[in-house]
Structure 1
Amino acid sequence: MTTARHHRTGLPPAGSRRLLEGWLESRRAAGFAEHQARYGPAPVEFYADRNGRARLLAAVDASGLRGRGGAGFPTGRKLRAVAKGRRPVVVANGCEGEPVSSKDHALLTVAPHLVLDGAVLAATAIDATEVILCVHRDDPIAGTVAAAVAERPSGEIPIRLVQVPGRYVASEESALVNFLDNGDARPTAKPPRPFERGVNGRPTLIDNVETLAHLALIARYGSEWFRGCGTAESPGSTLVTLGGRVARPGVYEVALGTPVAEVLDRAGGPDEPPQAVLFGGYGGTWLPVQSAVRTRLSHEDLRDAGATLGVASLTVLPARACGLAETARVLRYLAGESARQCGPCMFGLPAIADDFTALVLGGRAAQQAEQRLRYRLSIIPGRGACAHPDGAVRLAASALRCFGTDLRAHLAGRPCAWAAQPALPLPGWDRRGGDWA
């Protein structure tokens, strides 16, 4: 198995505290000098020639690193696909449009240079000459990131900071390429995929900032070290946002494969009786709490449980809340965040939100809405310009399964007493109709 242990400075971070070890407590950005004192220089020169690039690609392959932005695609395969093209570009995706996730914001707040190291090393691995770091325009992290970029040594692969409109789907890979090319942050139809033709028509690697931070550590400590925690299919640690009704909401770093009950315990556990857990944010999956806590936090275990890891976030819904009403609110938000350029989003998502609202109100209209809803959920997936409608369908379908008892009560004309009491956070403004440039 390929390693890079001879680049190690001191001891690697212990256990699963790797990205945030020692930094999160300070709640401030580590400067370049602090960063180098802890990790040593990024071993860019070791990987700069053809043989070195091959070693780095082999190390990432052997590590089993999977993307931390939602899809969980193997990072090594992504690097190799882009490396086949001419004059590739690296885009570090730090946009975090998911309302219940703040992991990327936390990472960039305290360890921006680990992300920048990873972006430069990825560029080295694929022989790219440009790195673009994207954050949302309405995210105050932009100032911290700009200061970190200004600290980078001269002669390094140039890094450019770009602020992207703060829309839910603006961080989708084709939307980023579209914005970087022509200033419009809406997704475009694929193919071609960005690794084939991306920014300025060049093959483009788009990786989440957490993924790149892990890559920076793999380049220093090797693939065997990275696999020292996690599972065979989901190796390493991950940043996870714990929210909803937990005692200490926030961002935590845990080993993949950790039982969900233990993950929630890191945040002090539920602070009132729980009903369900939402995995992967507002394009994710509801699971009843009894099933959720018996599941391990890994791609394979969540797949077996009928969910996906997605953007690693766990949101606990209290027993007093109405899961159908909460889902209806989220679906209305997702419909409003549509780019409004393809039928499944423009017409399908508002219709699903309307049907879910009818379910919440109950009675005869709810029975008719349920029939329409189940039909719509069966025909929308896979038909959008991006995966936004698929995520909304996944959320809606999981709510029908998870809150089946409540659904039957609503259909019988007995809506929940707490249906009018919001429990999940949503952005406090309406951005529909513009703000894509």
Structure 2
Amino acid sequence: MTIAPGLAAPTDTRRLFAAPGPGLRDHLDTFGPLASYVDLPDLVERAGLVGRGGAGFPSARKLRGVAAKGHGVVVGNASEGEPVSDKDRTLLLAAPQLVIDGLVLTARAVGARRAYLTTARPEIVEHLREQVGLRAESLRIEVVQVEDRFVSGEESALVNALNGRPGLPSDRSVRVYERGVHRRPTLVHNVETLAHVALLARFGPHWFRSVGTDDEPGTFLSTVSGAVPAPGVFEVPFGTSLGSLLAAAGCSPHDAQAVLVGGYHGAWVPGRAVAGTRMSKSSLVTHGASVGAGVVAVLGRDRCGLVESAAVATYLAEQVAGQCGPCVNGLPRMADALTRLARRERDPRLVDDVHRMRQLVVGRGACAHPDGTARFVASTMRVFADEVAVHLGGGCGVHAAR
């Protein structure tokens, strides 16, 4: 891959944030212009790029699926309904031109004449429109504010919103790459994925793979929050130790009672395991977790894991689409049983209630929301099993230690 004259590819892990400012001039001075033609599906496949929105789906497969049908639509997804994620907003404020480059490149690859950039953050809508306005592109890019809900970032929900319908997930039998926005084949990519595409087109797959692991190459953005002195968004390679990620936010692994990895649809890593855990699929699978959208939330030793988890489960039960039984009935009942445990009700049947509801909702929803919620609750019951026993006896280990 030819690098623009006078420019050097970023050599450290500050790739997405390499430009000193968000404007077009800083962007071009740092990264140079886009190539007039690249075989994008081939580049993306050789790089091993996967989506950064949470599901980790191979990006080349999505590209080829829409490109094969032709005359598609491209959507940059920054809905970020996950409450403990801030990476997409941060990226769009710091490097919007990389995201716009990614939209342009993917639109060329799938024969799209129209693209959308979606966000649920009203404070950055005008900023994005200004940045789009700096470009002289034949591609029409429309910035759209969508509803701020947990499920609004699911790709079928996003397509429904762009089609003027409620932004709720559709039945998974209808794939958006076959019929999406305005009934056209639609490619939905997270904005971080698009930014990586823009770098790939300039510096190539070998450069992309120079950090990360063989199985999971490249960098990703991680939002670190919770009981940390310096919360923020950090760009790190896949395979980075969870302990070093916490250290970047000023937190010692010894200060963490547990760490939620992957967000509200993720799983807890117990504090004793933090030092030996890496941000990779092979390491996190032991805990039923994945990198997902890069969310890392630290639970301090002064907070009860059951109380905090019950609050998350209740939130997720309230964020349902209301279209199927698992969401309407199963999630509220599961959250209620977990809440009663957190309140120290001495009823041993509550544990069975939690597990029964969890098993009933898995695989039965119109979207993945019930499955993700069940995964989080299963992790809670596993990691905080000792605390469950204490709560059933009317006590709380955290409060007793104060």
Q: TM-score range by the shorter chain?
A: over 0.9
SS of the residue aligned with 1:170?
Answer: helix
| Deviation of 1:56 (Å) | 2.1
State TM-score, norm by structure 1.
0.88
**Correspondence for 1:412 among 379, 387, 393:** 393
Say whether 1:134 aligns with 2:118: yes
Which amino acid in 1 is paired with 2:12? G
Residue 313 (structure 1) aligns with: 295
CA distance in 2, matches of 1:22, 1:418: 47
1:159 aligned onto 2:141: yes
Partner of 1:87: 71
> 1:207 is matched with which residue?
189
Amino acid at match of 2:381: L
Cα separation, 2, equivalents of 1:262 and 1:368: 40
Q: Structure 2 matches for 1:323-338, cutoff 5 A?
A: 323-338=305-320
Query: 2:382 corresponds to which letter in structure 1?
Result: R
Contact 1:8 1:39 in 2 (8 A): no
Task: Please report how far the alpha carbon of residue 184 of structure 1 lies from its aligned counterpart in structure 2 after TM superposition.
Answer: 1.0
**Alignment partner, residue 126 of structure 2:** 143
Q: 1:123 aligns with which of 107, 114, 119?
A: 107
The root-mean-square deviation of aligned C-alpha atoms, in Å, is 1.7
The 1:195–1:170 alpha-carbon spacing in structure 2 relative to 1, beyond 3 Å, is: same
Q: Distance in 2 between matches of 1:342 and 1:142?
A: 33
Q: CA deviation at 1:296?
A: 1.1
Residues 203 and 6 of structure 1, relative CA distance in 2, 3 Å threshold:
same
Give the Cα–Cα distance (whole angstroms) in 2 for the partners of residues 416 and 174 of structure 1.
43
The question of 1:345 aligning with 2:337 is answered no
TM-score by length of 2: 0.96
The answer on 1:395 being equivalent to 2:376 is yes
Q: Which residue of 1 aligns with 2:211?
A: 229
Seen in structure 2, the aligned counterparts of structure 1 residues 370 and 304 have a Cα distance that, compared at 3 Å, is closer
Total equivalences in the alignment: 401
The answer to whether the 8 Å contact 1:88/1:127 transfers is yes
Q: Counterparts of 2:294 and 2:154 in 1: how far apart (Å)?
A: 16
The equivalent of 2:50 in structure 1 is 66
- Contact in 2 for aligned 1:189/1:386 (Cα 8 Å): yes
Match of 1:376 among 357, 360, 366: 357
What SS does the corresponding residue of 2:152 show, helix, strand or coil?
Answer: coil
Identity percentage of aligned residues: 43
* 5+ long unaligned stretches in structure 1: 24-28, 48-54, 422-437
TM-superposed CA distance for 1:270, in Å, is: 3.9
Structure 2 contact 96–128 (Cα < 8 Å) conserved: yes
Segments of 5+ residues of structure 2 without an aligned counterpart are none
Q: Kindly tell me: are residues 299 and 417 of structure 1, through their superposed partners in 2, closer, same or farther at Cα, counting changes over 3 Å?
A: closer
Quick check: 1:41 aligned with 2:33? yes
Partner of 1:106: 90
The letter for the 2-side match of 1:327 is S
Letter in 2 for 1:59: L
Summarize deviations over 1:316-367 as a string: whole Å, max 9, x none: 10112110110111111111111111111111111011000111122433x1
Alpha-carbon distance in 2 for matches of 1:417, 1:281? 23
Contact 2:117/2:143 (<8 A) preserved: yes
Secondary structure at the aligned position of 1:169 is classed as helix
Deviations 1:261-303 (A, max 9, x none): 1111111124982200000111110110121331111223212
Q: Equivalent residues in 2 for 1:189-268 (5 A)? A: 189-268=171-250
Give the letter aligned to residue 141 of structure 2: I
1:385 aligned residue (350, 363, 366)? 366
AA in 2 matched with 1:414 = G
